[in-house]
């Protein structure tokens, strides 16, 4: 399997990349790690006329603190997100999820900006961005704007990013002090995309839950953040009944379509299991 | 698309050739550099057979275009043994019967040469997690895991 022919550009500054992207008029495609685009091009599911290679834009690879937020540059590789002391401390959910992406070699190369722009419904970073309410800071040659994750993901593999825009960095809110985080997924083979994935953060005060964030990925065209369910979870003691209620509630709220390989019932039952695992993992951290 | 001049630095040596931008690094290594130790399996990043090192990091050469690799240091399986002396990882794979047909072995060796540099004291769980990126149809993986853990111990003794 070989890709169709394309022309190749390798800009050394963001400004050059944005100009080339604007000149490409929709025929050009950005490539960063290439761990999703590469297979799609080899299988000729994607046939861009031109590739603009972002790998020399080292100015886009960073993790920085900014007040109550973390800024993660779009070219930050998955392993760098997973190992960053700042991410582990201030956004542990993001670090945990990054560590589960694909395989060891894939994590050395793939980038967070690339994964978000690719918008695979079962991928880790879109789910985390939705669950935490991340903001994507994007640029074209002529303008800058900030897009909330909920407005960024339109459908499977489809985002609101314009043809002349690239993601510059992603803003994640810092976790609360003492907040626990957990990411769990189920797939049939290690490293595959999730059939169902759950991302959660839990914080308590006085023995009662005061904030639950819960997101589900892998089952719907866009990952879902279950805000209403998170509200009903507050003010209760996080015991076994609480875990069961939340896990069942999540499965009930999941709007899934029949899939040739995964029946609706199987996916709902998996949801109860995977959400339960994520919640119990988070609660174990709170007790520790 | 016209062919372009491409220079790759592989195992410390420069290779000049002409190829289209779409030429995969895996094909360039085998066809233009004559380094056929890098094996091509699935060509979509799943099997891990084509793994090489780029600036010391394991990379799927089938998901990389040769033209992207100008200015980077590529290491392939041909660079691992010093003459007839196997690396500790290669020796351990030999002793533990960590290969049978050998098709997947170059990718496994390159992945774990890098992995053991970054993780000199790996747990079995970490080794198994990293090994998920390399498919082997012969061995059942048990001997590969044994060999990698053995190599880690031997590399510490040698260090």
**pLDDT tens-digit map of A183-219:** 999 998 887 889 999 999 999 999 999 999 999 999 9
Going by C-beta distance under 8 Å and a sequence separation of 6 or more, which residues neighbour residue A92? A175, A181
The number of beta carbons lying within 10 Å of the beta carbon of residue B48 is 28
Considering the domain architecture, whether residues B38 and B73 belong to the same structural domain is answered as yes
Q: Do B22 and A38 touch (CB under 8 A)?
A: no
Q: Do A2 and B24 touch (CB under 8 A)?
A: yes
The average confidence (pLDDT) of chain A is 96
A8 touches chain B (CB under 8 A): yes
In the listed set B79, B103, B129, which residue is the last one of a domain according to the structure?
B79
Query: What integer is the mean pLDDT of A164-191?
Result: 95
Least CA distance to B48: which residue of chain A?
A: A105
Determine the pLDDT at residue A260. Answer: 80
Considering the domain architecture, whether residues B93 and B151 belong to the same structural domain is answered as yes
pLDDT at residue A255 is higher than 90: no
Q: How far is A169 from A74, CA to CA, in rounded Å?
A: 5
Q: Do A38 and B48 touch (CB under 8 A)?
A: no
Determine the pLDDT at residue B104. Answer: 98
Determine the pLDDT at residue B3. Answer: 95
> What structural domains does chain A harbor?
7-51 (3.30.43.10), 60-173 (3.30.465.10), 180-287 (3.30.390.50)
What are the angstrom distances between the C-alpha of B98 and each of A1, A88, A144, B35, B139?
Answer: 29, 35, 53, 23, 7
Q: How far is A139 from A120, CA to CA, in rounded Å?
A: 22
pLDDT at residue A71 is higher than 90: yes
pTM above 0.90, yes or no: yes
Instruction: Calculate the CA dihedral of residues A157, A159, A163, A166 and round it to 10 degrees.
Output: -100
Query: What integer is the mean pLDDT of A67-84?
Result: 98
Q: Do A5 and B1 touch (CB under 8 A)?
A: yes
% of chain A with per-residue pLDDT over 70: 100
> Cα–chain-centroid distance for residue A23?
29
Q: What's B151's domain CATH number?
A: 1.10.150.120
Q: Do B132 and A2 touch (CB under 8 A)?
A: no
In the listed set B26, B55, B79, which residue is the last one of a domain according to the structure?
B79
List per-residue pLDDT tens for chain B, 159 residues long: 799 999 999 999 999 999 999 999 999 999 999 999 999 999 999 999 999 999 999 999 999 999 999 999 999 999 999 999 999 999 999 999 999 999 999 999 999 999 999 999 999 999 999 999 999 999 999 999 999 999 999 999 988
Total structural domains in chain B?
A: 2
CA distance B18 to chain A (A): 14
CA distance A15 to chain B (A): 20
pLDDT band for position A13 (50/70/90)?
very high
Considering the domain architecture, whether residues B8 and B75 belong to the same structural domain is answered as yes
pLDDT band for position A54 (50/70/90)?
very high
Determine the pLDDT at residue A1. Answer: 86
Going by C-beta distance under 8 Å and a sequence separation of 6 or more, which residues neighbour residue A180? A201, A202, A203, A282, A283, A285, A286
Judging by beta carbons within 10 Å of its beta carbon (0-12, 13-18, 19+), is residue A198 exposed, middle or buried?
Answer: buried
Considering the domain architecture, whether residues B101 and B118 belong to the same structural domain is answered as yes
Instruction: Tell me the Cα Rg of chain A.
Output: 19
pLDDT band for position A25 (50/70/90)?
confident
Name the nearest CA neighbour of A136 among A162, A157, A110, A155: A162
Q: Which ipTM score applies to this complex?
A: 0.94
Nearest neighbour of A103 by CB, restricted to B20, B24, B133: B133
Token pair in block for residue A154: 């339109």
Determine the pLDDT at residue A26. Answer: 87
Q: Do B57 and A35 touch (CB under 8 A)?
A: no
What are the angstrom distances between the C-alpha of B43 and each of A43, A208, B52?
Answer: 9, 51, 14
Judging by beta carbons within 10 Å of its beta carbon (0-12, 13-18, 19+), is residue B38 exposed, middle or buried?
Answer: buried
Determine the pLDDT at residue A256. Answer: 79
A283 touches chain B (CB under 8 A): no
Could you report the per-residue pLDDT of B43-84, keeping only the tens digit for each?
999 999 999 999 999 999 999 999 999 999 999 999 999 999
pLDDT at residue A288 is higher than 90: no
Domain of residue B9 covers 4-79
Residues of B with CB under 8 A from a CB of A: 1, 20-22, 24, 27, 43-45, 48, 51, 57-60, 62-65, 67-68, 111, 115, 129-130, 132-134
Q: Do A104 and B130 touch (CB under 8 A)?
A: yes
Identify the residue among A11, A99, A105 best suited for mutation to test binding to B, counting B beta carbons within 10 A and taking the highest: A105
A188 touches chain B (CB under 8 A): no
């Amino acid at each position: 399997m070989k890709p169709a022919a394309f022309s190749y550009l390798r800009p050394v500054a963001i400004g050059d990349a944005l100009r080339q992207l604007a000149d490409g008029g929709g025929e050009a495609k950005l490539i960063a790690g290439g761990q999703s685009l590469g297979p799609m091009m080899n299988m000729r599911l994607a046939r861009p006329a031109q590739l603009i290679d972002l790998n020399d834009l080292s100015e886009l690879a960073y993790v920085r603190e900014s007040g109550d937020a973390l800024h993660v540059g779009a070219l930050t590789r998955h392993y760098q997100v997973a190992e960053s002391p700042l991410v582990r401390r201030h956004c542990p959910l993001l670090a945990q999820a990054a560590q589960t992406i694909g395989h060891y070699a894939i994590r050395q190369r793939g980038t967070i900006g690339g994964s978000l722009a690719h918008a695979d419904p079962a991928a880790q970073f879109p789910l985390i961005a939705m669950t935490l309410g991340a903001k994507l800071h994007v640029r074209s040659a002529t303008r800058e704007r900030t897009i909330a994750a909920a407005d960024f993901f339109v459908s499977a593999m489809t985002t609101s990013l314009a043809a002349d825009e690239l993601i510059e960095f992603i803003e994640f809110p810092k976790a609360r002090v003492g907040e626990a985080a957990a990411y769990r997924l189920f797939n049939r083979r290690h490293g595959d995309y999730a059939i169902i994935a759950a991302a959660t953060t839990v914080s308590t005060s006085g023995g009662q839950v005061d904030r639950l964030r819960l997101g589900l990925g892998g089952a719907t065209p866009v990952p879902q953040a279950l805000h209403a369910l998170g509200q009903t979870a507050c003010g209760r003691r996080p015991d076994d009944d609480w875990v069961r209620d939340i896990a069942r509630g999540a499965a009930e709220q999941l709007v899934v379509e029949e899939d040739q390989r995964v029946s609706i019932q199987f996916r709902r039952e998996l949801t109860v299991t995977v959400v339960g695992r994520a919640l119990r993992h988070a609660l174990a951290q709170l007790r520790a | 698309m016209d062919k372009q001049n491409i220079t790759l630095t592989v195992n410390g040596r420069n290779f000049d050739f002409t190829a289209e931008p779409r030429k995969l690094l895996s094909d360039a290594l085998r066809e233009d550099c004559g380094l056929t130790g890098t094996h091509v399996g699935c060509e979509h990043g799943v099997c891990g057979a084509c793994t090489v090192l780029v600036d010391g990091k394991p990379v799927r050469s089938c998901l990389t275009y040769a033209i992207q690799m100008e200015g980077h240091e590529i290491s392939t399986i041909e660079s691992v043994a010093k003459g007839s002396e196997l690396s500790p990882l290669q020796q351990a794979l030999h002793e533990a019967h960590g290969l049978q047909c050998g098709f997947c072995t170059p990718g496994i060796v390159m992945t774990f040469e890098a992995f053991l540099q970054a993780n000199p004291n790996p747990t079995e769980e970490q080794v198994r997690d990293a090994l998920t990126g390399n498919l082997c149809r012969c061995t059942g993986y048990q001997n590969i895991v044994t060999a990698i853990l053995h190599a880690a111990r031997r590399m510490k003794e040698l260090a």
